[in-house]
Chains A and B, each alone.
Chain A
Amino acid sequence: MSFIRQVLLVTNMNLRSILERSGSSLVIIVGIAGSVAVMVSLLAMAEGLSSTISSTGEEDRVIILRDGSSSELSSGVAMTELDTVSSSPGIKSIDGEPMIAGELFAIIDLKKKGAESTSNLPIRGVQPASFKIRPEIEIVEGRNFTTGTAEIIVGKGANNQYEGLEIGDQIKVRDSFATVVGIFSSNGNVHESEIWADLAAAQGLFRRGASASSMILKLNSPDSFDEVGLFVESYPNLELKVQSESDFYENQSSGADLIKVFGQVVGYIMAIGAVFAALNTMYSAVSTRLVEIGTLRALGFKGTTVLLALLIEALLLATIGGLLGGAIAYLLFNGYTVSTLAGGSFSQTAFAFAVTGEIIQQGLTLALFVGFIGGVFPAWNAARRDITEALRSI
């Protein structure tokens, strides 16, 4: 009889008795499922936030802020500066027009659905070119605003999270009103948490005169980045900072890293607790089966066979726990949308939890690790036992 067959036989015997010991086996499964579920949910939250923010940036788009500003909110550029930059080489043209736009970024406060106090949400004044530069913007309901009017369109995320942002609703800015005429999607990136308006109208609403917060432009190719950089530098009176859109948004996602570290730390600490629980269960599983183990050994089964079979049992229970935990996290949270304060903008960004394959894999690794540590010591202990001593415990 081959070694592997022996191991499988003993494993099979062990597994058949699991049902009899369902209470204590459940302890392993529940303990591990809990740890995995928690870690997977926290990592899914971090993943959702960071992918929402970083997916906003594209390599071939450039964002230009006032030199010294790290966010659009603290930045300001004059429309005359925009005219100067638009003659730079490296900018992609469409129908003879360079793809560059000035955008105004401000915040307004509205009530979130079900909330008592108000939260900040960003409003972006855009030019027609903004839509060409960002083809991901798509009107999903209603229509786009008419240039030159106080009409606004609302991102899907903002529409879900805030009160009074349905089509036909009006929002008050100072003594003027702006009417919602459409709802847009943007592939799930941060713009879905924004309100968009016509730049000229926004300048009026916010009394900004002929200025914007930032410029956005599309490059011929990502390699053209230096051409724009050099062009801006060649004008000593242009105090502007040129950076690729992907770098800009990458810098804003530090909050996600924090959640990730937090999730991992809490997950690992819980796993330690689960290891103790698993050890407990496996030790008592071994001690109630000492006679069987002794009998097997007396029949000629090797110590290693017994060890491996017990280890396989622990790992199997751990896998079930891990899968269960992953499934719970997936069912409860995948796609669940929340919002949080985004870096640098003092306003809310909505994002959805993303339970990815990689995160499930991390959870399963944790489960197997707990199963291994929890199984190997009791199994080792059982395999080493003296046959006579084990049989005597009858």
Chain B
Amino acid sequence: MYWTLVKIGLIRKRLRTFLTIMSMFVAFVLYGSLNTLSGLFTGSIEGLSADNIIVMPRYNMLGKLPYSHVNYIETLEGVEEVMYMDFLISDSIESMMEGVAYAVSPNFFDVYDRFEATEQAILALKSNPNATIVGQLMADQKGLRIGDRLNTESSSLNIDGTNNWSFEVVGFYTAKQIKGDELGAIINWPAFDEARMSEKGTLGTIMVKATSSEVGEKISKQIDEQFMNSSYATRSGPESMVAAEMAGEIADVELIVNSILLSVFFTILLVSSNTLAQSIRERTSDIGVLKCLGYKDNIIFISVILEAVTICFSAVLLGLLVTALMIPAIEIMSGGILEDTVSISLEIVLGGFLIGLLIALMSAAVPAYQALRLRVVDALREG
């Protein structure tokens, strides 16, 4: 019974129903896609843990720390393991590899369980001074196979006096959670340090695995205080906090973008709920006829509301569907970096339907109630 009334309401003015759904649909595409994308940032932060401490140069994030810092940190209480890495930054776009090679300490793969490689590859990395383990994603993109050579030019001078560096691919690593981390090459720090001319014995970042996150905080403070007045002052903190701080650096802009999006949403919703209400107001005489025919007030009221809900939910459904279709396109455009990291969460879906329900109720309830309260004669006179 409800459905008949709802259907009649919907097809009464097909064009208007269609246009209303479409304008709301656009709002929900924006809602779905932008929320999904902003989930990206928080998603990448969630992958990091609080008991890993990062130690960086304090006054220059691209600066260096001496190896002796590692020796000191290893003596601290509560330190389970110390890893470190330096960066070989390639500066030539002609080189085979764009970006960074990470020169890591031999224990890197044992401690950092976000990154995984085969036993064999890790052994080869430690024994062969020219070895590199490349990220699976980069290997796929460049068609690298085991035994291939990876050549790059860097501002770091090689011991032979040139800027050319060449490595042999001995395996591939995969990264949990953040696929973009697979766009790199890992080399062995001791061998790299041996092979470079300048900045010998220096590190870019030190990572400390603490026994617990509480101990981690204490250790961070201890390290920073120890080196406060040295030439190599440090800035330490849990990996998750450092990442959150980095994200916070763009927070201002994010806040503005968010508030702008909120206004996007409200504009379109205001417009469509107005249209929805209008279409119900125009139907006062129809409602009078229904009452004459003996339809009960609550049945008419509920069917009008149901009609609005149908329109809103169609828009939500379509909007989220298009968002879901856009995700593979975004992943392809990102060159695989975002693979498996973007998805519409249940919260976004539920939130969408909740908003849809609210709009339907807000825009339909008042005009429907007003129409019902009219006496049949007045309602009929309206037409």
Interface of A toward B, CB cutoff 8 Å: 23-24, 26-27, 30-31, 33-35, 37-38, 41-42, 45, 66-71, 73-74, 106-109, 115, 117-120, 173-175, 206-207, 259, 262, 266, 269-270, 272-274, 276-277, 279-281, 283-284, 338-341, 346, 348
Query: Which residue of B231, B256, B268 contacts A34 across the interface (Cβ within 8 Å)?
Result: B268
Q: Are B154 and A68 in contact (CB under 8 A)?
A: yes
Q: Are A341 and B249 in contact (CB under 8 A)?
A: yes
Q: Which of chain B's residues have a CB closer than 8 A to the CB of A27?
A: 271, 274-275
If A259-B253, A284-B16, A341-B250 touch, whether A38 touches B61 (CB-CB below 8 Å) is no
| Range of interface residues on B (Cβ < 8 Å) | 35 or more
Question: Is chain A's binding surface mostly helix, strand, loop or mixed?
Answer: helix
Q: Which of chain A's residues have a CB closer than 8 A to the CB of B16?
A: 280, 283-284
B362-382 near A? 1/0 per residue, CB < 8 Å: 000000000000000000000
Is B211 an interface residue when CB atoms closer than 8 A count as contact? no
Interface of B toward A, CB cutoff 8 Å: 15-16, 19-20, 22-27, 29-30, 58-62, 89, 91, 154-155, 163, 228-231, 233, 235, 245-246, 248-250, 252-253, 256-257, 260-261, 263-264, 266-268, 270-272, 274-275, 278
Query: Which residue of B22, B62, B233 contacts A74 across the interface (Cβ within 8 Å)?
Result: B62
Q: Which of chain B's residues have a CB closer than 8 A to the CB of A37?
A: 263
Q: Are B30 and A30 in contact (CB under 8 A)?
A: no
Q: Are B249 and A117 in contact (CB under 8 A)?
A: no
Q: Are B155 and A269 in contact (CB under 8 A)?
A: no
- In the complex, which of the residues B60, B229, B253, B267 has the most CB atoms of chain A within 10 Å of its own CB atom? B267
Q: Are B267 and A31 in contact (CB under 8 A)?
A: yes
Task: Name the 5 nearest CB pairs between A and B, nearest first.
Answer: A68-B155, A34-B267, A273-B26, A276-B23, A207-B231
Q: Are B271 and A30 in contact (CB under 8 A)?
A: yes
Q: Which of chain B's residues have a CB closer than 8 A to the CB of A174?
A: 228-229, 233
What is the chain A residue whose CB lies nearest that of B26?
Answer: A273
Q: Are A277 and B272 in contact (CB under 8 A)?
A: yes
15 additional contacts, CB 8 Å, given A71-B62, A280-B275, A338-B252?
A: A30-B267, A31-B268, A34-B267, A70-B91, A117-B245, A119-B249, A175-B229, A207-B230, A262-B257, A273-B25, A273-B27, A274-B267, A277-B275, A283-B19, A284-B16
Whole-angstrom distance between the alpha carbons of A295 and B42 in the complex? 62
Q: Are A270 and B270 in contact (CB under 8 A)?
A: no
Q: Which of chain A's residues have a CB closer than 8 A to the CB of B256?
A: 41, 45, 338
Q: Are A266 and B261 in contact (CB under 8 A)?
A: yes
What is the chain B residue whose CB lies nearest that of A161?
Answer: B252
Question: Is chain B's binding surface mostly helix, strand, loop or mixed?
Answer: helix
If A27-B275, A269-B26 touch, whether A280 touches B155 (CB-CB below 8 Å) is no
- In the complex, which of the residues B20, B61, B228, B264 has the most CB atoms of chain A within 10 Å of its own CB atom? B264
What is the chain B residue whose CB lies nearest that of A272?
Answer: B26
Q: Which of chain A's residues have a CB closer than 8 A to the CB of B26?
A: 269-270, 272-273, 276
Q: Are B155 and A66 in contact (CB under 8 A)?
A: yes
What is the chain A residue whose CB lies nearest that of B21?
Answer: A276
**A198 → B minimal CB distance (Å):** 17
Whole-angstrom distance between the alpha carbons of A38 and B30 in the complex? 13
Q: Jot down 19 A-B pairs with beta carbons below 8 A, ordered by A.
A: A26-B274, A33-B267, A34-B266, A45-B256, A68-B91, A68-B163, A69-B155, A266-B30, A266-B260, A269-B30, A270-B267, A273-B22, A273-B268, A274-B23, A274-B271, A283-B15, A338-B252, A338-B253, A341-B250
- In the complex, which of the residues A41, A174, A339 has the most CB atoms of chain B within 10 Å of its own CB atom? A174
Q: Are A277 and B245 in contact (CB under 8 A)?
A: no
Whole-angstrom distance between the alpha carbons of A23 and B15 in the complex? 19
Q: Which of chain A's residues have a CB closer than 8 A to the CB of B248?
A: 115, 117, 119
What is the chain A residue whose CB lies nearest that of B17?
Answer: A280
Q: Are A277 and B261 in contact (CB under 8 A)?
A: no
Whole-angstrom distance between the alpha carbons of A120 and B268 in the complex? 38
Q: Are B62 and A277 in contact (CB under 8 A)?
A: no
What is the chain B residue whose CB lies nearest that of A350?
Answer: B252
**A201 → B minimal CB distance (Å):** 14
If A117-B248, A270-B26 touch, whether A106 touches B155 (CB-CB below 8 Å) is no
Q: Which of chain A's residues have a CB closer than 8 A to the CB of B271?
A: 27, 30-31, 34, 273-274, 277
Whole-angstrom distance between the alpha carbons of A109 and B56 in the complex? 13
Q: Are B253 and A348 in contact (CB under 8 A)?
A: no
**B37 → A minimal CB distance (Å):** 10
Q: Are B20 and A107 in contact (CB under 8 A)?
A: no
Q: Which of chain B's residues have a CB closer than 8 A to the CB of A277?
A: 19, 23, 268, 271-272, 275
What is the chain A residue whose CB lies nearest that of B155?
Answer: A68
What is the chain B residue whose CB lies nearest that of A34?
Answer: B267
Whole-angstrom distance between the alpha carbons of A24 and B275 in the complex? 7
Q: Are A273 and B229 in contact (CB under 8 A)?
A: no
**A352 → B minimal CB distance (Å):** 12
Q: Which of chain A's residues have a CB closer than 8 A to the CB of B261?
A: 38, 266
- In the complex, which of the residues A37, A66, A338, A341 has the most CB atoms of chain B within 10 Å of its own CB atom? A341
**B330 → A minimal CB distance (Å):** 12
What is the chain A residue whose CB lies nearest that of B228?
Answer: A174
Q: Are A73 and B29 in contact (CB under 8 A)?
A: no
Q: Which of chain A's residues have a CB closer than 8 A to the CB of B62?
A: 71, 73-74, 346
Q: Are B19 and A280 in contact (CB under 8 A)?
A: yes
**A18 → B minimal CB distance (Å):** 15
Q: Which of chain A's residues have a CB closer than 8 A to the CB of B30?
A: 266, 269-270
Query: Which residue of A108, A270, A338, A341 contacts B268 across the interface (Cβ within 8 Å)?
Result: A270
Whole-angstrom distance between the alpha carbons of A274 and B263 in the complex? 13
If A34-B267, A68-B154, A277-B271 touch, whether A73 touches B229 (CB-CB below 8 Å) is no
